[in-house]
Structures are given as C-alpha cells and as structure tokens.
Structure 1
Amino acid sequence: MNLAIGILKEAQEWLTPVFDKETQDKVSEMMASSPKELKESFYKNLEFGTGGMRGVMGVGNNRINKYTLGKSTQGLSNYLYKVFPNQKLKAVIAYDCRHNSDTLAKTVADVFSANGIQVYLFSSLRPTPELSFALKYLNCQCGIVLTASHNPPEYNGYKVYWEDGGQIVPPQDAEIIKAIEDLKYDQIKFEANEDLIEYIDTEIDQAFVKSSVQNASFNTSKEAKDDLNIVFTSLHGTSITVVPDTLALAGYKNVHIVEEQRVPNGDFPTVKSPNPEEPEALTMALALAEKTNADIVIGTDPDCDRLGVAVRDNQGKMILLNGNQSMILMTAFLLEQWKKAGKINGKQFIGSTIVSTPMIMKLASAYDVAYKSGLTGFKWIAKMIKDFPELEFIGGGEESFGYMVGDSVRDKDAVAASLLICEVAAQAKANNSSVYQALLQHYVDFGFYKEHLISITKKGIDGLTEINAMMVNLRENPLREINNQKVVKVEDYKSSLSLNLLNNESEIINMPKADVLIYYTEDGSVICARPSGTEPKIKFYISVNEELDTIENFKGIEDILNERIKNISTSMQL
C-alpha cells in the first residue's frame, strides 16, 4: 500500500460514527481542501520519544486529541491490569498551562475511571516534577502529565510515569505501545465513573514544597539568604504555583517576580519560545535584574522541569549559563556538601547523559563517587536509581537545562534545582565570591570544557525524511577527520558498536539502541549527531577542552576554544 492510499484509508476511519461530528467535519474539510494538512495529520501514529508523546493538537492519528490520548490511556489501562493483577489500581494526573491541557487531562481521567482505576486529578495546573512526587506519595502504579514542555503553543503531549516515579523505559515502553497499537478506536471507554475521580491540590502541594526544601537546602545562613537578590520568571508556565512558595519556605525573601510573565498562558505572549535554553526567553527577567541589581536570574519552562540561570560575571554583567555549566555548578556544590558532612564513602553516584559535558566525569573522580551515563532524557537518569540500588544517588543533570536533586522526584526538577542554585549563589556571595567565580575555579580544578549546540529544524514528513537522510549519510560516509584532527573513536548507538580507529578494535555499547553517533578526535574534542526525540530537529553537540592554569588566563583559553568550535562547525558544514 503506498503512502497516499494509506493516508486516505486512515482518514476515512475518522469519518465513522466512532468519532464525534466536529471531528468528522474537520476530516472532511481537510480531504476536500487541505491535502498537505491531511497528509501531516494521518501519515503516521504519534510515537513515544525521549520525553513521552508530543505533537500538534488537531484531528488525526498523528495529532494530539481526545481520541489519540484516549487510545493511549485505554491501552495503558489494559497493560496495568496485566502487570498488576489482583491489585487496586491507582493513577495520578497533572497538566500544564497549554491550550486544552485541562480538558485532555479530564479525558484521560475519564478513561482510567471507566476502566475501574482510581484517579487522582490535580484540580488545576501543576509542575511536572510534582506529578512524579505525587505518584510515590499516593502509592500509585502510574502517572500521566499533559505537557509539551517548551514546544510551540500549537503542541501538547502525554508523558507516562511508573510506580517508581520515573518515566517509562524499556521494556515497558514497547509493551505499552503494543497494548495501544493492538486497540481500535471503538474500544476506548470514555464513559467516566466520577466516583473514582478524586481532585487533589493543597495537601500534595505542601508535601512537595516541604520535600523540595529538605532536599535542596544545605545549611546556608539566614544572613546569606537575606543578602541574595533573586529575579524569577515562570515564563507563563506552571512554576508560579510552587517555586515562589519553595523559595519562601527555604528562607529566601528577596525574590522579584517578572509580573508580565506571572499568569499562566498557553500562548506564551511575551516570548518567541518559552524555552530557558533560548537567551531571548529571559530578556524581561534580565531587564528586571538590572533594575533591581539582582545577583541571579532564574527562569523555568512551562512544565517547570528545566531552568535557565543567569549570573553576574567579574565585570558585573549578567551572563546566561548553559545547561552544562549550571549542571557542573550544582553537582560540584552537592559533592562538596556531602563531603563536608562525611557522607561520601564510595557508595554514591552521580548521573548524566552521553551528550552532556565530559567534565562531569572529572567531578565524580575527584570526589570518589561513581559516574553513570545514559542516553538522552531524564528517564535514563531516573532508571539508574533502580539499576544500582546498592549506590546512593546524589544528583544528576543533562545539557538541556535539567537537573535532579536526590531521589524524591525521579525526573528533571526545576523546583528543587531553583532552590539549589540559590544555595550555591548565597553561599558563594557570603564567602566574598560569586557563582561565576566558582565556575571559573572549577575550570582550573577539573579542566576547561566548553560546549556548543547546533540545532537544525526540519518540520513535517519531508523534514523527517531529510533528518533520516543526514544520519544515513553520516553512517555510509564515516568521518575520518574533523577540523584537521583525526577521528580516533566512533560510537554508533544504533549498531551498539564503539570502534577504535587507531587499532580497528570494536566494543559493544551496553545501552539501549538509539539513533546517535559520537565522534572523538585526537585533540580531545567530542562531536555528537542526534535527531531530537521531542522536536523536528537534528542536533549536533560539540565539546572541546583545554587545561586552565589560572583564572586570569580564562579569556585567552576561551578564545582558543571558541575558535575550535567554529572550525569544527565549518569543517562539518553545519
């Protein structure tokens, strides 16, 4: 069956009485006058990526709507009964500020309840990390959050969490997907049992805030907290419901909130993208920082799992930290606090991902803790806690502005991380230093690692084809030299092979398969190519490094590393 016939067949199914009239009318309209939209809406089923299932809202099996989410929830319900026989099943549901998130969350609750599953549904929008916390707090078998993180306003999404509080991982993800794909749309049970739906709010909020303060507070003096001047923006998202309360309970009173971005709004009217990875997103917060002479700026994405941080450099200018830098600062601080408390005994670990800075491994070695690396996505860091029960998890992060402190939340958590970076800043300032100065000292102590990310956007079915072709080309025409430096090792996570080009020996990569290629060059540079699992992008991660003997030589070495990154990009035609 060719693609056009397959699309038409899928679309015609949505004209049957299984679907409501509004849906049928929209499909008929697309079939009559919008062939491109029809193609994009029906050419494939929505898939689970690194951050769950995300897509544009609309009709069709490649769109987020009540039927695709209903089918996912029905399949998940069937799977829950299979995995947890003879148990009282419980699920908890949260949602963010996006359009239709509240109604889609109620649809998910309806389907769970129609299947006899007790549902705890947040009465209004909440951060994603609170969902992970609530799942364990309420002893549920699974949790769902309706969110598309920092994607554009037309997107929404569906993330599935398991009883440990982490997102689903193999083999469960494939088993759940099969349970969903085995269903037909007319098998979805939409008729709610309202007696099984309980709305939750204050009790969970208070427990979550208290837990966040306990996990991310480290004996900072009242004077140091009072002296720290903070600017915070929720970027129209969910963090406004929790982060200010968390900072207040921890004793931080000097917090200035960007009022224009305080109110949750799925249109994100004051930013091009509500993504703290993008410098533009923090423009208003930086302006407020100048007005209030703030020491630190914190901005979170719509579902409050990522945070962007800005601090003052040695000239007093506000600069944005990247995700690797904030991860290094928070991890080094945690390790030092654990060391001071005498809690490091060789049975601890920190975690990160294969595309994050190699500098994190230097930290682990220096503090005599184990280092665990996983694929991109925090579900893999959360899985490490299950996989290594004999080791105590201290903290972990990834380059995409996510961090997790301890074990009460098993996903990236901008609530605890916001407090933790304030602890770093307050203690540094109290010691006549700064966050920026601490970062430079880490470069001296552990090596100056500098990273750069290049994202190339390719939307739609044609874009997916282009991205796949780029990865095929890299595999069929392997790079032997980058920026006049020999490639000494290539890791292909799709074939699970690591090839040493110096001796032509290969090793098996002991991780799940993924469409990722990583090149290592003779000067220590690392370049990774990876299609995004949540956005229509292909990403190239570049990491370079040099020794830094003194802070005074920082600028000169930084110029060298910037030039190296530029030359690598040019040589790869990025």
Structure 2
Amino acid sequence: MHIEKAILDQVNIWLTPTFDNNTHEAIREMMTSAPKELEDSFYKNLEFGTGGMRGIMGVGTNRINKYTLGKNTQGLSNYLKKCFPNEDIKVAIAYDCRHNSNTLAKVVADVFSANGIKVFLFSDMRPTPELSFTVRHLKCHTGIVLTASHNPPEYNGYKVYWQDGGQIVPPQDGEIIKEIESLEYSDVNFKADESLIEYIDTAIDEAFRDSTIANASFNTSKPAKENLKIVYTSLHGTSIKAIPGVLEKAGYTDVNIVKEQAEPNGNFPTVKSPNPEEPEALTMAMELADTINADIVVGTDPDSDRLGVAVRDTNGKMILLNGNQTMVVMTHFLLQQWQKAGKLSGTEFVGSTIVSTPMMLELASAYDVECKVGLTGFKWIAKFIKDFPNQKFIGGGEESFGFMVGDAVRDKDAIAAILLVCEIAAQAKEKGSSLYQELLQMYVDFGFYKEHLISITKKGIEGANEIKQMMIDLRENPLKEINGQRVVCIEDYQTSKGKDFMNGEEFSISIPKSNVLIYYLEDGSKICARPSGTEPKIKFYFSVNCQVESINDIPEAEAFLEAKIKNIIAEMQLN
C-alpha cells in the first residue's frame, strides 16, 4: 500500500539512535508485515481530549509509549518552570491496573526528576480520584495519572491535573501542547534523579478515606447502615484499594465483594468491557445480588472515577440505573440534606453538562440553587469551582456515570459517589421506601425525563473522516423537523452560535468552543451530536420528557417516551 511521505518522515525519525533497538525492530516488523498498522501508528500525534490523552500502546507518534509520554512530560516540565520560575515545583503521580501503567508512571517520574522537579509517586496502583485529592493535599503544582479509564485492554493514557486538583483546561492545554510540539524527541531528559522521587502510600490513603467519609456521609443511623446489603465489584480495577475500607469505616458492615473481579488485572478477563455504562459489566455482581437478596449493586471502572448502580425496582427485580438517573438521585439527596441543615444561602451551585439530562435544571430551580452547565468532562465542573470561589459547590455529574460530591476531589469520584448512594439507599430502606421509589417520586415532582445514548464507532483514518462528514452534514444541512416535531433551536458549540427558529434570532454561546451540535424540538426533546474526544466514536444523546400525575402513570409514560426515542433514531437513520 502507498504511505504518505509525511508519515514515512516520522517513521524515519523513530529509526534514529534516539530510539531504542526494540522500537526499531517493532517498526521494521510493521513495515514488512503490517503497513496499515504502521500508517495508523504514525499518521498523527496523540492529542488531549475531554479525558486527557488516551491511545493504544505501541510504537509511534499516535501511540502510548515511553517516548510520547516522555515528550509530553518534558514539555510539561518546561511549561511548569515558566509558570513557576522561583518555586520548588512538586508533582504527584498515580497509575491504574493497566498493562505497563507502573513502568510508564516511573518513566514519567524519571523525566520530571531529571528536570529538577520533586515527584510524589504512589508505590502501587491507586484510584484516579485519590490523585486529584493528593495534588491539593500535598500542595503540588501538577498531577499525572496513567490510565485509560474504561477503554479496552490495549489502551493506556495520561491525564494532567493542575494545582486546584482539576484537569487542565484551555488555554493551558493548548499552551502545554505548544510546548510539547516545540520539542524533538532527542530533547527529552530520561536520566532520573532518584533523590527527587518520593514514594507515597498509607498516609495519603488514610487522609483520602477520611475526607471521603466526611464529604459523603449524611447522618445515616448505625442500624440503617448495617441493614443495607451491598454487592460491590471493582471490575478488576483500582477501587479495591479504597472502597472496602471507606465503606467499612463509614459503618457499612454487609458488603459483599464479587471475588472473581476483585483482583486487579489489565486484561479485565471476566468482562467484554470494564465500563459500568455497559449492563454486561455488572452481570456477575447482579447475579450475586440475586443469590444473597442484596439491596444494591455498586461497581466502578478500572480507575474508579465512574460508578454503576443497580437497585431493585417495584417488583423486586434488580435493574441497572443509567448515569442520568444516578446523577439526579444523588443531586436531589444532596439538595435535601443541605436544605435540612440550613446551608442553602443563595450562593450555592450544582454542576452538569450540555449532554446530560435537563432534569438537573429542574432540581436546581426547585431549591433556588444555580445549575452551572458546561461541556462534557469533569474538568469543566472543576473549573466552575475555581472560577467562582464565592459560590459553594454542592455536587454534580454527567450522564456518563460520573459524579462529584463536594470539592475535596476535583474530578468524577466513584468512591465518594458510592458512599453517597449507599447513604441514600440505607435511609430510604429505613423509612420503608427504596432508592428506586425515591427516583419514581422525583419523576412525579419534577417531570419524567428519559435519556438514551447511541455510540457509533468508526476506527482509523477513514473512520475519522466519516465522523467529520457526519458533523458537516448536520451543520450544513440542518434538519427542520424530526418525528413530526419542528426543530425550534440549534446550538453549535463549535461556532459558539445558536439560532432560535421561533423568532429567527441568533445568539452567542458563552461556553468554550467544542465540536458539539444540539437540536431542540418543540415538544421539549433534545438531540445532541458529539464526536468523542478520547475514542474513535461519534455519540448521539437523546432526551425526551413528559409530565406524570402519579407513580402509577410512569409505566405508560415510559412506553410513550421509549417509542418517541425509537422514532427519532429511525428518522435520523441512526439504527
């Protein structure tokens, strides 16, 4: 096959003495037996997306390896020295259970130390939320976690956090990328200064656990905690290092761990995908729940920022809640608790994202609390906390199974969220209700919102072009009617412009630019198209709603809303 000259130029750079013999051998092997793989490995540089930098491990500029991460770290080191010229710079580094995470973390630590930067490196894998906590706890200037979250086993990644404990956001990310791109691979200093690398362990674990319990506990009685039967799975990930200890110290004594999934393992052998968004991932946990008649199932992804929750419905059947449902249940509970404690003064806020359920706005309005809505990714919620220091953050989430309780951790945090959801379930059970019944009552009180997500995977160069074309078509040939409902408004976050078709007025969007397009229909339906920032996917988010008079009306209303979503998908030819 023909490979473009620009790609071959990059390949030839990687065949110079700057790179080791193993790299040379791998490239030569691809040149003879896998030219398509060679092209994909070198046709671009990995970029920072909504969840940092993620990619397949291997050789090449479009892969996660010693050299791409070394170059990132060298660029970040240079940037830190420019930002903090007269300070002793400190960085915290954590890593998850993935293949090579520990060795890649040491490479990153080596490069920082070679540049005279003090490194706090966890001695073993740790949850991502603990890294966010550690950055602020140790007063570090930045933090790195080696993880690819819920991606398949062949992936790894590199997330960058700033002083506030949140992930980097514009313009910083762009400035760091410029610094990285100004470097040659030969500029990377891999010669570690071991005296600057300090291994951290139990003291941080204890501080993180105590902070989690303080933030996510709400006066649940001892009998209620002991009476809640919990099934928990770490899906072979890092949360096994934190959640059992947090739940035990918080007073939950009936915690049943899925033993087959308790051992950290980068192959994730018992699941197709270690993603709690996927119902299959929690199959073993739900089977155990039925065997022992548990009240609730909780599970996390490999780096422990996402949580899955399953509860019993009104017929006693264990069902998996989606991310929007868990988010509104937790947000409503937090708002209730803050109100009961007399802590709502008018300066508080909750956080959400443009692709999440509009029900968050209804909840916030009911309690006279602001709901700040940002782009996809918790770095934007963390930015709200930093940008509005005179407002108090209560909690917030996004549809992709993430939630943040308070501001001790500045990223989605499955550990605090799981403790919080157990508090809700325990208190509900004690009063003769259940978490699911609480959710149903919310639908009566605030409106019944139903959401659905379609992810379309398009791999490689051709796939990236297909996704690009889909977005061009939606922009240049906008739909005027969907499922018999007029499109009343379109918001284009790439141009920061919107248009209200009811009055013909255009308006500006203050949220930072992003490749997202949202259609609003006259019946309150919402359709969002967004290419993923970390995976070769385009995602379509659907939200529909209606009013219900009582819980008894919900089954009929749900069937109506399900049919509406199916019709919209069919009309948009996304089946």
Distance 2:387 2:447 in 1: 30
1:292 match: 292
1:189 match: 189
2:211 match: 211
Shift of 1:460: 1.3
Matched, 1:50 2:50: yes
Amino acid in the other structure paired with 2:215: N
Distance change in 2, residues 1:186/1:549 (3 Å): same
Shift of 1:148: 0.1
Mapping 1:481-492, distance limit 5 Å: 481-492=481-492
| 1:203-235 C-alpha deviation (Å, 9 max, x unpaired) | 000000000000000000001001100000000
Distance 2:354 2:275 in 1: 22
> Any idea what SS the aligned residue of 2:271 has?
coil
2:198 match: 198
Amino acid in the other structure paired with 2:314: N
Mapping 1:36-115, distance limit 5 Å: 36-115=36-115
Matched, 1:117 2:138: no
> Any idea what SS the aligned residue of 1:121 has?
strand
1:437 match: 437
2:548 match: 548
Check whether the contact 1:458–1:467 (CA below 8 A) recurs between aligned residues. Answer: yes
2:237 match: 237
Distance 1:551 1:569 in 2: 27
> Any idea what SS the aligned residue of 2:266 has?
coil
Amino acid in the other structure paired with 2:55: G
Mapping 1:296-335, distance limit 5 Å: 296-335=296-335
Shift of 1:33: 2.2
Distance 2:455 2:203 in 1: 41
2:339 match: 339
How well do the aligned residues superpose, as a CA RMSD in angstroms? 0.7
Distance 2:56 2:117 in 1: 28
Shift of 1:285: 0.1
Check whether the contact 1:110–1:190 (CA below 8 A) recurs between aligned residues. Answer: yes
1:178 match: 178
Distance 2:460 2:338 in 1: 47
Check whether the contact 1:494–1:515 (CA below 8 A) recurs between aligned residues. Answer: yes
Amino acid in the other structure paired with 1:234: S
> Any idea what SS the aligned residue of 1:498 has?
strand
Distance 1:572 1:303 in 2: 35
| 1:25-71 C-alpha deviation (Å, 9 max, x unpaired) | 11111122211011000000000000000000000000000000000
2:406 match: 406
Distance 1:464 1:312 in 2: 41
Mapping 1:120-139, distance limit 5 Å: 120-139=120-139
| 1:131-172 C-alpha deviation (Å, 9 max, x unpaired) | 000010100000000000000000000000000000000110
Amino acid in the other structure paired with 1:76: L
Distance 2:476 2:354 in 1: 22
Distance 1:3 1:24 in 2: 18
Distance 2:315 2:192 in 1: 60
Check whether the contact 1:357–1:449 (CA below 8 A) recurs between aligned residues. Answer: yes
Shift of 1:257: 0.1
Amino acid in the other structure paired with 2:211: S
Check whether the contact 1:74–1:188 (CA below 8 A) recurs between aligned residues. Answer: yes
Distance 2:386 2:79 in 1: 21
2:275 match: 275
Distance 1:533 1:252 in 2: 38
Shift of 1:254: 0.3
Check whether the contact 1:94–1:122 (CA below 8 A) recurs between aligned residues. Answer: yes
2:165 match: 165
> Any idea what SS the aligned residue of 1:548 has?
coil
Distance 1:459 1:246 in 2: 40
Distance 1:251 1:348 in 2: 29
Amino acid in the other structure paired with 2:24: Q
Amino acid in the other structure paired with 1:333: F
Mapping 1:21-32, distance limit 5 Å: 21-32=21-32
Amino acid in the other structure paired with 1:108: V
Distance 1:251 1:533 in 2: 39
Distance 1:516 1:506 in 2: 17
> Any idea what SS the aligned residue of 2:71 has?
helix
Distance 1:553 1:477 in 2: 39
Distance 1:303 1:12 in 2: 36
Check whether the contact 1:467–1:531 (CA below 8 A) recurs between aligned residues. Answer: yes
Shift of 1:476: 1.4
Distance 2:125 2:169 in 1: 25
Distance 2:198 2:173 in 1: 27
> Any idea what SS the aligned residue of 1:499 has?
strand
Which TM-score applies when normalising by structure 2? 0.99
Amino acid in the other structure paired with 2:269: P
Check whether the contact 1:149–1:302 (CA below 8 A) recurs between aligned residues. Answer: yes
Distance 2:369 2:14 in 1: 55
Check whether the contact 1:3–1:43 (CA below 8 A) recurs between aligned residues. Answer: no
Amino acid in the other structure paired with 1:569: I
Distance 1:150 1:462 in 2: 24
Matched, 1:373 2:364: no
Distance 1:473 1:35 in 2: 32
> Any idea what SS the aligned residue of 1:422 has?
helix
> Any idea what SS the aligned residue of 2:488 has?
strand
Amino acid in the other structure paired with 2:478: P
> Any idea what SS the aligned residue of 2:69 has?
helix
Larger mean CA deviation between 506-515 and 64-73 belongs to: 506-515
Matched, 1:147 2:147: yes
Distance 1:426 1:527 in 2: 35
Shift of 1:388: 1.1
Distance 1:424 1:458 in 2: 40
2:363 match: 363
Distance 1:396 1:221 in 2: 25
Amino acid in the other structure paired with 2:65: N
Amino acid in the other structure paired with 1:504: G
Check whether the contact 1:530–1:540 (CA below 8 A) recurs between aligned residues. Answer: yes
Flag structure 1 segments of 5+ consecutive residues without an equivalent.
Answer: none
Matched, 1:395 2:395: yes
Shift of 1:3: 6.7
> Any idea what SS the aligned residue of 1:48 has?
coil
Check whether the contact 1:167–1:411 (CA below 8 A) recurs between aligned residues. Answer: yes
Matched positions, count: 573
2:509 match: 509
Distance 1:100 1:224 in 2: 42
> Any idea what SS the aligned residue of 2:4 has?
helix
Aligned-residue sequence identity (percent) comes to 69
Amino acid in the other structure paired with 2:90: K
Amino acid in the other structure paired with 1:203: A
Mapping 1:431-470, distance limit 5 Å: 431-470=431-470
Which TM-score applies when normalising by structure 1? 0.99
Distance 2:63 2:323 in 1: 30
> Any idea what SS the aligned residue of 1:86 has?
coil
> Any idea what SS the aligned residue of 1:451 has?
strand
> Any idea what SS the aligned residue of 1:49 has?
coil
Distance 1:424 1:85 in 2: 47
| 1:460-519 C-alpha deviation (Å, 9 max, x unpaired) | 111111111110111111111111100000000011001001121111100111110000
Distance change in 2, residues 1:476/1:3 (3 Å): farther
1:253 match: 253
Amino acid in the other structure paired with 1:104: L
Distance 2:333 2:279 in 1: 25
2:35 match: 35
